């Protein structure tokens, strides 16, 4: 049974989002978060073979390797990392925080840092 969980790719080199589904050998939607996350991590393995970290920078802060997101039923996008990858150790989360802040007005008293 399909649910509201979906996968989305992001081409960091082109700066464009793209759908991940049947054309990528994946499901169009998932019944649970866990199923979506499992397929997202599997797809990251495919990306690693197509765009090796050695030449793309991988999922690092400055890397241009494509990214994968789980899209929650409400529309929130959650970036997925390879198992064992610690985003904070690679400078990923501070960048994402700045991007989120840049895309919405700051509430009174909230700082970007």
Domain for residue 98, yes or no?
no
Query: pTM for this one?
Result: 0.69
DSSP string computed for 65-107: S-EEEEEPTTS-EEEE--TT--GGGGTHHHHHHHHHHHTSPPP
pLDDT at 32: 92
Does residue 101 lie in a domain region?
no
Residue 91 has pLDDT above 60, yes or no: no
In a domain, 12, yes or no: yes
| DSSP element (H, E) containing 8 | strand 6-11
Exposure string of 66-80, with b = 16+ CB inside 10 Å and e = fewer, is bbbbbbeeeeeeebb
Q: How many domains does the chain have?
A: 1
The reply to whether 102 falls in a domain is no
27: containing domain: 6-83
91 occurs within a structural domain: no
Residue 106 falls inside a structural domain:
no
93 domain-assigned: no
**Mean pLDDT across the stretch 70-83?**
88
3-state secondary structure of 30: strand
Structural domain contains residue 46:
yes
């Amino acid at each position: 049974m399909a649910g509201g969980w979906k996968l989305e790719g992001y081409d960091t080199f082109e700066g464009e989002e793209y759908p991940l589904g049947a054309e990528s050998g994946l499901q169009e939607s998932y019944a649970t978060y866990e199923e979506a996350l499992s397929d997202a991590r599997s797809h990251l393995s495919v990306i690693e073979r197509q765009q090796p970290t050695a030449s793309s920078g991988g999922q690092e802060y400055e890397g241009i390797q494509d990214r994968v997101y789980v899209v929650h039923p409400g529309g929130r996008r959650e970036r997925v990392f390879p198992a064992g990858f610690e985003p904070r150790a690679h400078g990923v989360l501070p960048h994402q925080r700045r991007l989120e802040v840049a895309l919405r007005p700051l509430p009174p008293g909230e700082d970007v840092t």
